[in-house]
Amino acid sequence: MYSLNRASLIGNLTRDPETRSIPSGQSVCQFAVATNRRWKDADGNVKEDTQYHEVVVWGRLGELAATMLVKGKKVYIEGRLQTRSWEAQDGSKRNRTEIVAENFIPLSPKGDGQFSTQSYPDSTEKTDPTPSDDLLTDQVKTDKKSTGKSVGPTVSTDPTEINLDDIPF
């Protein structure tokens, strides 16, 4: 018999992503997403419920999440549910159900500070590192003049820039 473990959320980040490395050297990023639900009860009163979901993102995708996501911004998360169990310092047994993200898409409007300043240590304001369309067009025109061929934009070797091939969408 087949089974499926899939979770999809659209919500707002409740805190900035936190990244750490485990002893094996693997990086892990954690944050929480809040989702809201509204409905009318039998009397016609509007009710609202907010749920908080813990999200874990591993590896390079987690590093991208830490640089692209900021508290308060809307995000789409896709992954699987996982429950961990451990014994607390006081001897009690603890459980935590979280979403292990396999994909995410920032949903904040472009230029709305969707990228955090973590990836830009010299910057004092949040900026979108994506070059403008005019810059890309000029770059393609310049390459066409020098080589006679139309080629795509060149990739920067600056380690603080985000490589568009690494973005999971």
Q: Could you report the per-residue pLDDT of 94-112, keeping only the tens digit for each?
A: 999 999 999 999 997 655 5
Check if the beta carbon of residue 38 is closer than 8 Å to that of residue 112: no
pTM for this prediction: 0.61
pLDDT at 108: 76
Average pLDDT, the chain: 77
Higher pLDDT, 64 or 112: 64
Is a pLDDT exceeding 80 seen at residue 29?
yes
Whether residues 90 and 154 fall in one domain: no
Domain count, the chain: 2
Check if the beta carbon of residue 70 is closer than 8 Å to that of residue 126: yes
Check if the beta carbon of residue 26 is closer than 8 Å to that of residue 48: no
Whether residues 124 and 163 fall in one domain: no
Whether residues 68 and 149 fall in one domain: no
Cα-based distances in Å from 1 to 4, 7: 10, 20
Whether residues 151 and 121 fall in one domain: no
**Straight-line distance from the first to the last Cα atom of the chain, in angstroms, rounded to the nearest whole number:** 31
Enter the tokens of residue 111. Answer: 């230029």
Range of the domain at 152: 130-169
32-49 residue pLDDT tens: 999 999 999 999 999 999
Whether residues 55 and 102 fall in one domain: yes
Whether residues 53 and 134 fall in one domain: no
Whether residues 139 and 109 fall in one domain: no
Whether residues 125 and 136 fall in one domain: no
80-95 in b/e burial notation, b at 16+ Cβ within 10 A? eeeeeeeeeeeeeeee
Whether residues 9 and 80 fall in one domain: yes
